[in-house]
Amino acid sequence: MSDYIGATPSYGVFDRQVLTGNGTATTFNLDFMAPPSSLLVVLQGIVQEPEFSYTTSNISGQPQITFSEAIPNTDRVSIVFLGNELITAKPANSNTHLDEFNGDGSTVAFTLTRTPVATAENFVVFVDNVYQRFGSSFSYTVSGDVLTFTGAPTAGTKNIQVIQLNGTNTLNTVANGAVTRAKLNFDPEDDATALAIALG
């Protein structure tokens, strides 16, 4: 027998948060940001209508829910997040990058064809097929798009190889209200009451 009345979530379970009223507060912090229509809010067993009984907002990075009236003292509010905003990691540089230079026995500074987005710890450098260690006390340093060796590499054709590994990751969020009914496996309005009974 299914644990759910209505559509079962395809991936994992729905996140749930429980609030307790104090008789005066109308605004509470949320664990996740979601538009009102992506929340199932149940006050003492009664489903609340989005945009009428409550709204949501993001204040300085803190998701909040605001009710049209203060929640009575000790009353419980069950909030089920039907469509969380997704956070995905996207590499600033999605591919490794290779530079090859010709040593001449005197030049120590070489200009890279791609400006690094991370520290020199994301570099792999070889001279004459020998791995070079990063640091001013060792083989080379990097400043901006210039790689500087502590000693001039020997003369050779493309005997200096500089590999930039993938850069640092940045986080991108789905915009507010971007999770629509089409992205869900059920219609929140049709299944709201059934889910409320199942989840309490």
Does residue 53 contact residue 174 with C-beta atoms inside 8 Å?
Answer: no
Reading the block at residue 194, the tokens are: 């059934």
Q: Give me the pLDDT at residue 88, please.
A: 46
Determine the pLDDT at residue 81: 86
- Residues contacting 87, CB < 8 A, separation 6+: 171, 172, 173, 174
To 5 degrees, how large is the angle CA 17–CA 14–CA 194? Answer: 95
Structural domain boundaries of the chain? Answer: 15-86+174-199, 91-170
CATH number corresponding to 15-86+174-199: 2.60.40
Contacts of 25 (CB under 8 A, 6+ apart): 70, 71
* pLDDT of amino acid 118: 64
Rounded Cα gap, residues 5 and 190, in angstroms? 11
d(CA 67, CA 28): 9
* Residue 147: predicted pLDDT: 92
pTM: 0.40
Q: Rounded CA gap, 63 and 97, in Å?
A: 39
Under-70 pLDDT residues of the chain: 1-13, 83-94, 118-121, 166-200
| Distance (Å) of CA 106 to CA 16, 102, 152, 196 | 65, 11, 5, 75
> Which pLDDT score, from 0 to 100, does residue 134 have?
87
